[in-house]
């Protein structure tokens, strides 16, 4: 299931695409501010309201925004407040927006420079990202791995345990595990416990006379 991380990536991928009033596809003709959010959510399998006012009224409001939340603006008037613009909150004081005709999707400050004030923030109910639960390992990592970055650590594990360079699929899977918060010790243990790792261990023991 898609997460807010995927949504942020989709919105960022449209930077530089043109604004188009009423548009909902930034790569085919352009999108307007709410159309961009509607399109990015749809790319992640989420259906949200189409217009900025419907998005404001239909999504849960939050007081402490996180990256990927929607930030809504209104132009001061005598009537009830309704959003005139929406962007994606990126970080404190920063958002990505698709502002108006003649401009393109870009990163901008909060508040913006169009005389609009922030109404508030709303959140698309994406699935939450949960890091893997650390698993105890019987194989302590040697001290020399402390100063290695994740790239070097994975390559070291393959050369040390399997006596070969890491293949593309193994590298991607282990890097994804580490990026998600998984412990390094589990990468080490998994390789030791794999069929290939056990075969290498048997070969080593036999070569030094521990096994016949």
pLDDT band at 132 (very low <50, low <70, confident <90, very high): low
Give the separation between CA 104 and CA 124, rounded to whole angstroms: 23
**Nearest by Cα to 2 from 68, 89, 95:** 68
Taking only Cα atoms into account, the Rg of the chain, rounded to an integer number of angstroms, comes to: 25
CA dihedral 88, 92, 93, 95 (to 10 degrees): -20
What does pLDDT average to over the chain?
86
Note whether 69 and 89 are within 8 A (CB): yes
CA distances from 212 to 108, 123, 200 (A): 69, 64, 15
In tens, the pLDDT along 42-64 reads 999 899 999 999 999 999 999 99
pTM, rounded to two decimals? 0.59
Give the separation between CA 39 and CA 24, rounded to whole angstroms: 6
Q: How many CB atoms within 10 Å of residue 122?
A: 23
Segment 169-187 mean pLDDT:
89
pLDDT of 79 > 90? The answer is: no
Segment 195-207 mean pLDDT:
85
Query: In the chain, which residues fall in CATH 3.90.1720.10?
Result: 4-122
Which numeric CATH code is attached to 4-122? 3.90.1720.10
pLDDT at 86: 95
DSSP 61-104: EESS--TT-EEEEE---SS----SEEEEEEETTEEEE--STT-B
């Amino acid at each position: 299931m898609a997460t807010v991380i995927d949504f942020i990536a989709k919105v960022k991928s449209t930077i530089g695409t043109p604004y188009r009033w009423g548009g909902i596809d930034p790569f085919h003709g352009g999108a307007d501010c709410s159309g961009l959010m509607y399109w990015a959510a749809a790319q992640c399998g989420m259906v949200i309201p189409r217009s900025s006012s419907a998005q404001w009224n239909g999504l849960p409001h939050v007081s402490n925004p996180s990256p990927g939340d929607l930030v809504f603006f209104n132009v001061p008037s005598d009537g009830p407040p309704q959003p005139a613009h929406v962007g994606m909150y990126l970080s404190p004081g920063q958002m990505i927006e698709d502002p108006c005709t003649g401009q393109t999707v870009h990163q901008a400050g909060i508040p913006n420079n169009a005389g609009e004030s922030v109404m508030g923030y709303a959140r698309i109910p994406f699935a939450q990202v949960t890091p893997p639960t650390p698993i105890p390992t019987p194989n302590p990592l040697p001290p020399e791995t402390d100063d290695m970055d994740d790239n070097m650590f994975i390559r070291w594990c393959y050369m040390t345990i399997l006596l070969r360079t890491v293949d593309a699929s193994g590298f991607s899977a282990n890097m994804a595990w580490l990026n998600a918060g998984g412990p390094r010790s589990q990468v080490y243990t998994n390789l030791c416990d794999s069929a290939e790792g056990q075969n290498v261990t048997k070969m080593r023991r036999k070569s030094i006379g521990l096994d016949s």
